[in-house]
Each structure stands twice: as C-alpha cells, then as structure tokens.
Amino acid sequence: NNHGEAMLVPILMEYNPGLAPIPDKMKYPIGTLPTEATYLVSLRVTPANNCFPREVYKNIPKELNEAVYHTTTNHLGLALLDENYIMIPGYDAVIDMDVQLGVKRKVRVNEGEVKGLTGEPAFMDYRLFTLGDDIYLHANAD
C-alpha cells in the first residue's frame, strides 16, 4: 500500500480433507503421475472454519468475526500423497473455484455494512471418489 498502513493477509487453513486412491493407469509409464503417488487429497482452503454456530463468535473482535463469516476466500486444495500420506513436492495446487466456474457474486453493501450472501458461493465440501480407473470430484455449494 502507499500510505504505510499494514496490509492484512489472510491466513489460509485446510479443512474437510477428502481422500481417494489413485488408479494405477494414472501413474507413469501409462499415465503422467509419479509412480509413488498413492492418494489424491482434496481440502477446503480458507480462513473460515464455519464449524460452530454464529453465537459462538458474537463476542470476538469484529475484524476476526468478519474473517470467519464474511470471507470470499474458499478455495479447493489438491495434492498427491505417497503411501505414507506425505505430500509429494511439486504436486499440490490451490484453485479459486468461483473464478474457474465463473460464479463470482457481487458484494451487497448497505451503508458500508456487508449484507446477505457475498463473494463466491460457499464451496465447503469437496469430496473425491475413485470409480473404476477415474477419480471424480464432487463440490457442494450454497
């Protein structure tokens, strides 16, 4: 910023892991994934956990409450894991789903106060499953 003010950078955490075994046909030499790749993990990457009712957060500072419940950051994380559930370096990504799907919402503001649904849809539950020789991703949104 240009005014010497501290910039707030959101701290992103991973929630709601999903795990799917990787079919052999997806691994080298048949496929393109490394031979040590055993699982694909999906994660919700966000500063908001949304694990508790709003009443739990009513007495915390406004800035923290807004970070927990009024965030537009709710990304999909994907990573390859080895047989010991360790991430394989270079095979992880965080994807901004609202941009990829073209579903970014407009922020509703009333006299400077955020009202109603804002930002991207609440992609909360990314679930992976293996069917035959393919891996599928299911994403719940509001």
Q: Which H or E element spans position 62?
A: helix 62-69
In the structure, what pLDDT confidence band is assigned to residue 1 with cuts at 50, 70 and 90? very low
What is the pLDDT, as a whole number, of residue 60? 76
Closest among 140, 138, 133 to 21, alpha carbons compared = 133
Mean pLDDT along residues 120-129: 73
CB 30 within 8 A of CB 24: yes
Highest mean pLDDT among 23-32, 58-67, 107-116 belongs to 23-32
CB 52 within 8 A of CB 45: no
Which tens digits make up the pLDDT trace of 73-107?
A: 778 899 999 999 999 999 999 988 776 776 666 55
pTM (2 d.p.): 0.72
Whole-Å CA distances, 91 to 32, 77, 81, 88, 136: 12, 11, 9, 6, 18
